[in-house]
Amino acid sequence: MHPRFTTAFSALPASLQAAIQPLLDSADFKGVLRPQDVAFLKQETGLDDDALALALLPIAACCAVATVSNFNVGAISRGVSGHWYFGANMEFEHTPLQQTVHAEQSAITHAWLNGEEKLDAITVNYTPCGHCRQFMNELNSGTAIRISLPGRAVSTLGDYLPDAFGPADLNITERLLTPINHGFPLEGEALQQAAIDAANQSHAPYSHSFSGVALRSQSGKIFSGRYAENAAFNPSLPPLQAALIMMNMSNEALNTVQQAVLVECENSTLRQQDATQSTLAALGCEDFSLTLVSKTSV
């Protein structure tokens, strides 16, 4: 078991401890529960879906990298495929707070990058902030996504975000988590191809400034991240943050990024380059390269 889980694990109810220990002990554990894992945990604990997700929140919150706030938030998103995805907040010292990732963004992006195409519910240990409510309003589940919090009745995003502003107000029909491929040809070595593949699947219906990032860590593994744009702009999640979410959920330390590639569109309205490069530098990674892809190739 990764050391970051041990304290929270020891505080879990005995039946949940016994049931989840083999998963946490597995070197393959990346904060994802498969449908059969969820079924097994429910059977062993007697908990229903909502109660089990609430009981697992302390484990998800162990993944927080809250070096600024020391406020650990955990979230678990539940996909229509039956998979559950852990998420946690991430903060980056020596960067602006705008670079921060919220737990809900982490759990949702974690699901998206694992190929989940729609979410049923999200469980979080504190009430979602306004930023996250707006971020969730970009999802293809719309305001129907269920939100579960400790000590509260389960409700929907519609209850938390009445009179919502969203993609439809800008006549945008694309939604976050609906698969898309912008068709940029995959070229170059593996890291660059991973970044192009991420840009291909990025959600940028407002600016069309598609972008993706791929990181190679000290372990040699590659983590990629897609840009997730938002109708209200500010809650958008940059592609670097998406890749760092995947790295964090794989239990790899964020200061072990060795090499990074950013892919952006030539002549696009927005640019991720400066923010990406400076956040990477704050994490100790200076091996950064930019690949521009052309819209004419789409």
Which residues are annotated binding-site positions for Zn(2+)? 102, 129, 132
**Which residues contribute to the annotated binding site?**
89-91, 102, 129, 132
Closest approach, Cβ 129 to Zn ion, in A, equals 4
Q: Where would I find the beta strands (DSSP E) of the chain?
A: 32-33, 74-79, 84-88, 119-124, 146-148, 155-156, 211-217, 222-226, 257-265, 288-293
Closest approach, Cβ 91 to Zn ion, in A, equals 12
Contact status: 66 vs Zn ion (CB under 5 A):
no
Nearer to Zn ion (CB atom), residue 12 or residue 63: 63
Compute how many residues bind Zn ion; rule: CB under 5 A.
Answer: 4
The amino acid at residue 211 is S
Contact status: 102 vs Zn ion (CB under 5 A):
yes
Nearer to Zn ion (CB atom), residue 82 or residue 158: 158
- Structure-token pair, residue 274: 């400066």
Residue 88 has phi, psi (to 5 degrees) of: -155, 155
**Which residues contribute to the annotated binding site for substrate?**
89-91
Note if 252 is an active site residue.
no
d(CA 27, CA 31): 11
DSSP 126: S
Choosing from 108, 132, 149, 245, the residue that interacts with Zn ion (CB under 5 A) is 132
Contact status: 133 vs Zn ion (CB under 5 A):
no
Nearer to Zn ion (CB atom), residue 132 or residue 214: 132
Contact status: 129 vs Zn ion (CB under 5 A):
yes
DSSP 31-90: SEE-HHHHHHHHHHH---HHHHHHHHHHHHHTT-B-TTT----EEEEEETTS-EEEEE-B
DSSP 127: P
Closest approach, Cβ 108 to Zn ion, in A, equals 11
Closest approach, Cβ 100 to Zn ion, in A, equals 9
d(CA 160, CA 196): 36
Contacts of Zn ion in 181-240 (CB under 5 A): none
* β-bridge mates for residue 257, sequence order: 217
Give the active site residue among 104, 116, 138, 252.
104
Binding site for Zn ion (CB under 5 A): 102, 129, 131-132
Which residues participate in catalysis according to the annotation?
104
